[in-house]
Amino acid sequence: MDATPLVIEFAPLAFIADTRLEVLLDERAVHDGSFAAGFRVSLSLPPGGHVIETRIHVGVVSRRRQYEFELPVVGLRDSATAWNIRLDYSRIWGNFTKKLALTRVEGGAPLAG
C-alpha cells in the first residue's frame, strides 16, 4: 500500500496573548509551538484509520479535541490524489470545532509549506 500525501493546516489567528498548541497524528507530534501563528505541515500516510489530537495549553488548563478519520486506498487512477485537513477554531467555545475539514485535492500532492 502506497502512502498518500496529506497537508494539515491551521490558519494564523489574531489573539492578544499567544499560547502553546500541540497537534499529534497517530500519537506522534506534528506541531508543537505557537497557537496564534498557525502552522502547515506536509507528510504522507498509509491508507486506513488515523487519529489527530489537538491540545491548546492555557496556563494550567488544556483544551483537547480528538478526530478520527479514514484515508481510502488510492488506486492507479487516483495516484495524483492528495488530502488536506484544515483545523478550525471556535472563539465561542475556546476550542477547535468538533468536525474535521478533510478535503480531497485533485491533480497532485499539496504544496509543501
Residues 63-90 have pLDDT tens digits of 999 999 998 876 655 556 789 999 999 9
What does pTM read for this prediction? 0.85
Residue 111 confidence (pLDDT): 46
Q: Which of 96, 99, 83, 110 is nearest to 13 (CA)?
A: 96
Q: Hey, where are the domains in the chain? A: 4-105
Residue 82 confidence (pLDDT): 86
Cα(111)–Cα(75) distance, rounded to whole angstroms? 21
Percent of the chain scored above 90 by pLDDT? 61
Bridge partners (DSSP) of residue 39 are: 10
DSSP 28-93: EEEEEEESTT-EEEEEEE-SEEEEEEEEEEETTEEEEEEEEEEEPPP-GGGTT-EEEEE--EETTT
Residues 17-65 have pLDDT tens digits of 899 999 999 999 999 999 999 999 999 999 999 999 999 998 888 999 9
Residue 74 confidence (pLDDT): 67
Query: CB–CB of 83/71 below 8 Å?
Result: yes
Question: Which band of pLDDT confidence, cut at 50, 70 and 90, is reported for residue 113?
Answer: very low
Query: CB–CB of 105/82 below 8 Å?
Result: yes
Residues 18-28 have pLDDT tens digits of 999 999 999 99
Per CATH, the number for 4-105 is: 2.60.40
